[in-house]
Amino acid sequence: MPYYLKMKKLTKLCNYRRKIRENIRNLRKSLTVLDQRIASMKVSKIAFNFNFFCNSKNIALFIPFDGELDTYPLILRLWLNNYKTFVPVIKSRRNKKMIFVRFSCNSILYRNKYNILEPFYESKDIISDLYLDIIIVPLVAFDQKGSRLGMGGGFYDFFLMNWCKKKFFIMGLAYDFQYIRNIPTKSWDVPLPIVLTPNNIWIFKNM
C-alpha cells in the first residue's frame, strides 16, 4: 500500500477513535449522581456474587476520573473482606510508566498534574506486578471481542503487555452504554478477557 494511503487510513482510524472517546465521555459526564451510585453498587454486588476475588489477596483498581464508574463501593467491600487494594500512580508520561501503590482508608489523596487523584506514598507502599492477583482497569469503550479503548495515554496498554504470561488476571469495569459493536484497534491495544457492567458480565476469548 502506498505511503499516502497508509497515512490516510491511519488518520481516519485515529479520528474515529477520537469520536468514540468524545461521545462516550460526554455520556458518562451526563449521568446524575444517583445514576452513578446505582451503577457502581450493582457492579460491586456482581463482582462479589460471582466470586471473582476468591483465592486473591492483592487487588489493583482505579480511582474514578472523568465520569468513570465509581469504584469506591467495590473498594469498601474489598476492605471489609480483608483484601489489600492498590491504585495506579503515573511516574512518566513520556515513557508511559505507571506503578501501583497501596491504597487504604488511611491514604491521603492529592490531584496530580493531570487532575487525577493519587495517594501520597512511600517506597514500602509500592507493589510489584509479581504480587498482584487482579488488576481492574478503566476504559472508555469495549466491543464484542473485548477490545479496549482507553483515554489515549497508553499507560495500561504498556503495563499490561503480555499480561497472560504473568501471575495476575485482568478485567474491565464500565457502564453498559460503553459497549459498542466494533472498535478499530491498534497493534499495542490490549484486549480484555472480562468486562463487568451494572447489568452484564462480558466474557471474551482473550485469556
Bind-site residues for substrate: 63, 68
Q: Which residues are annotated as a binding site?
A: 63, 68, 148-156
- Give the residue carrying C-alpha cell 487532575: 115
CA 11, CA 54: separation in Å to the nearest integer? 44
DSSP characters for 82-131? T-EEEEEEEEETTTTEEEEEEE-TT--EEE-TTS-EEE---GGGEE-GGG
Task: Find the helix or strand (DSSP H, E) in which 13 lies.
Answer: helix 3-30
Instruction: Tell me the three cell numbers of residue 162.
Output: 503480555
Q: Which residues are annotated as a binding site for ATP?
A: 148-156
The CB-side HSE value for 47 (13 A sphere, CA atoms) comes to 29
Please tell me whether residue 15 adopts helix, strand or coil conformation. helix
